[in-house]
Amino acid sequence: MLPSGFPEAVADEETLARFLTSSSYFSATTVKPAAFLPNPKAGMTTSVFRHDAGNLIQIARDRRPDVSIHGAAVCKAAAVRAAKLEVVAEEPPPLHANIVGWPVEADPVLQKAAQREKALVITSKCKLVLF
Amino acid sequence: MEAMYESVWLYGPRTEAISEILSVVATHCRPDWDGEGAEAISQLAADRAIAFIRALPRGVPVPEIAPEHDGSISLDWIDSRSRVLSISIGVSDRLAVAWLDGTNQGHAVERFDGERIPPLILERIRETMGNASVRVS
Amino acid sequence: MRLAHPPIVEMVVDIDCDLPADLEIADLEQRARELYSDRYPGFRRILHPLPGFGDIREATYAFQFLEEGPGLVQLRRDGFSFNRFPPYTDLDEYLPEIRRAWQIFVDLVAPVAIRRIGLRYINHILVPSGLRIADLNEYLHLGSGLPDDMTLKFNEYLAIEDVTGNEVRVRMVIDAQERPDQPPPVILDIAGSRRHSADPQVWENIETTILGLRRMANAVFQSSLTEQCLTLFR
């Protein structure tokens, strides 16, 4: 059991939230793939939060009060696994997890293209929640 | 500048897309704009993205614009959540391309010389947006 | 000449001006939106690439104020534009509104002088189905003198009206997006203009110039199309 009280293993049916730090990361009802691309500075992972619907805004406020958060892309962990990626709990902060297993290629542009394809699979299953 | 910006019918969607690129650059010009160490949007990437928009043939839909963590610019043609073509434009002439079309998906690398849109990309735009009511260039 | 079904897809009145040297149009946004919002509730900010951009204020090129109907007004860094889309009736009907919108521009921006007045008609001509590109000269005076086995894609010329000094730039584009099951659409872009220094406060002189440009543009339109083509629009 993690300090947050959540189990270490992220179940398929758990809801994940990817906070959207740019208003350009979404259109009217859809999340753009750039929102999910992995961060090379964070070990090639994508930061997400495990949540129930009630405390999403509070998690966002606690995370980085100095960064504008416009909303969240919300999906099930199963959607990430459908893209052949994995979700691994990583606390602190509380409820934090990482999407890992992004493709790595010798050609950085090809790597980006492959990662982008997986991001599209994830965003196809996302709902957009605006704050 | 001729009358490019004055005719909305001829150039309106492309003018808007270029304007959106500049707006994205201006609002993501500080390092760490996302709180996760993002790079400021590269001016070279923006120049290439603008050249790409200008190279789109008339009648081809223009994309939506998004910033990327490494300072590149994302061009997305979105028909629905499951029909998307996405291209990353960075500092080189090689573009990272990926698409999702229902159960059909893929990725590729294409080269943009600054003047002519690669045929694969044009074909993918038309396949993705074939049913959409969207801005056309 | 009044056509029942004009092929116009856009009419643009441009009044290019010298603005006060210390004016930054980005600073005018709020006031401009207030002044235009009653008739033009929609708004778009148009940015233009500049060297070393990143400053959104410096990159601001124009504000577009959109009608709920088929029209918009543009407040540009170098002047004013009034754009009208189908359904299009007659320039005479739009002149009062052009004058009103222009006066708002003058009061807000205080232009120093007018440099150029332009009137542009963009026509989208759909010739009958089954017509091949090679047969377009039945509808258009292409004037290219090309051999029979060649296809014209684009024709452009610049002319000056002897009496008035008005200029006209005419572009005829055979649309590259031809589909085998549809006829090749043709864009006939007629842009008349007059360069002169004029007082922004004297609307009558501006209107006189616009009407002269209309007369010239109509003449060019008639001479660019065959009678067979003109009957499509009557």
Residue C96 token pair: 């009062």
Amino acid identity of C136? L
DSSP class of C39? T
pLDDT at B1: 34
The residue ranges of every structural domain in chain B are: 8-129
Q: CA-to-CA distance for A36 and A39, rounded, in angstroms? A: 9
Identify all chain B residues contacting C26, using CB atoms and an 8 Å cutoff: none
**Residue from C35, C56, C59, C36 nearest C48 by CA:** C59
- Per-residue pLDDT of C145-165, as tens digits, reads 777 777 777 788 899 988 888
Quote the percentage of chain C above a pLDDT of 90: 53
- Per-residue pLDDT of C22-74, as tens digits, reads 888 889 999 999 999 999 999 999 988 766 555 555 677 899 999 998 999 99
Please tell me whether residue A112 adopts helix, strand or coil conformation.
Answer: helix
Report CA-CA distances (Å) from A63 to A2, A21, A74, C157, C164.
Answer: 18, 12, 17, 62, 69
Q: Kindly report the average pLDDT of chain A as a whole number.
A: 92
The residue ranges of every structural domain in chain C are: 8-233
pLDDT for A83 beyond 80: yes
Residue with tokens 């730090």: A21
Provide the β-strand partners of residue A96: A49
pLDDT for A112 beyond 70: yes
Q: CA-to-CA distance for C85 and C71, rounded, in angstroms? A: 6
Provide the β-strand partners of residue C16: C79, C116
pTM: 0.86
Residue A8 in any domain: the answer is no
Q: CA-to-CA distance for A122 and A20, rounded, in angstroms? A: 14
Q: What is the mean pLDDT of residues A114-126?
A: 97
**Residue from B88, B96, B94 nearest A113 by CA:** B96
Domain that holds residue A20: 15-130
Q: Kindly report the average pLDDT of chain B as a whole number.
A: 89
pLDDT at A121: 97
pLDDT at B3: 47
Q: CA-to-CA distance for C181 and C88, rounded, in angstroms? A: 28
Per-residue buried b or exposed e for B29-42, using 16+ beta carbons within 10 Å of the residue's own CB:
beeebbbbebbebb
Q: Are C70 and C84 spatial neighbours (Cβ–Cβ below 8 Å)?
A: yes
* Phi, psi torsion values for C172, nearest 5 degrees: -120, 120
- Count of domains for chain A: 1
Q: What is the mean pLDDT of residues B26-44?
A: 91
Q: Are C65 and C42 spatial neighbours (Cβ–Cβ below 8 Å)?
A: yes
pLDDT at A93: 87
Q: CA-to-CA distance for C73 and C24, rounded, in angstroms? A: 19
Nearest to B5 among C46, C118, C176 (CB): C46
pLDDT for C3 beyond 90: no
- Which residue in chain A has the smallest CA separation from B100? A120
pLDDT band per the 50, 70, 90 thresholds, residue A5? confident
Residues of A with CB under 8 A from a CB of B: 21-25, 27, 29-30, 32-35, 37, 39-42, 47, 63-64, 66-67, 107, 109-110, 112-114, 116-117, 119-121, 123-126
**How does DSSP assign C161-199, residue by residue?**
-TTT--EEEEEEEE-TT--TTSPPEEEEEEEEEEEEEE-
Chains B and A touch (3+ CB pairs under 8 A): yes
pLDDT for C123 beyond 90: yes
pLDDT at B133: 46
- Per-residue pLDDT of B60-111, as tens digits, reads 999 999 999 999 999 999 999 999 999 999 999 999 999 999 889 999 999 9
pLDDT band per the 50, 70, 90 thresholds, residue B2? very low
First-residue to last-residue Cα distance in chain A: 30
Q: CA-to-CA distance for A71 and A21, rounded, in angstroms? A: 8
Query: C83 touching B, CB under 8 A?
Result: yes
Provide the β-strand partners of residue C140: C225
pLDDT at C5: 84
| Interface test with chain B among A24, A25, A69, A75, by most B beta carbons within 10 Å | A24
Report CA-CA distances (Å) from C86 to B6, B9, C6, C126, C170.
Answer: 16, 11, 9, 15, 21
User: Which range has the top average pLDDT, A22-31, C2-11, C49-58?
Assistant: A22-31
DSSP class of C20? P
Amino acid identity of C161? E
Q: CA-to-CA distance for C198 and C190, rounded, in angstroms? A: 23
Nearest to A32 among B33, B64, B107 (CB): B64
Contact B66 A35 (CB under 8 A): yes
Nearest to C122 among B1, B5, B9 (CB): B9
Least confident of A45-54, C30-39, C135-144: C135-144
pLDDT for B112 beyond 50: yes
Query: B128 touching A, CB under 8 A?
Result: no
pLDDT band per the 50, 70, 90 thresholds, residue C180? low
DSSP class of B40? P
Q: CA-to-CA distance for C73 and C15, rounded, in angstroms? A: 12
Contact B35 A40 (CB under 8 A): no
Contacts of A95 (CB under 8 A, 6+ apart): A4, A6, A49, A50, A51, A59
pLDDT at C198: 82
Residue with tokens 């010298």: C18
The Cα of A11 is separated from the nearest Cα of chain B by a number of Å equal to 24
Residue C200 token pair: 């922004």
Nearest to B8 among C10, C54, C189 (CB): C10
Amino acid identity of C127? V
ipTM of the predicted assembly exceeds 0.90: yes
Q: What is the mean pLDDT of residues C3-11?
A: 89
pLDDT for B10 beyond 60: yes
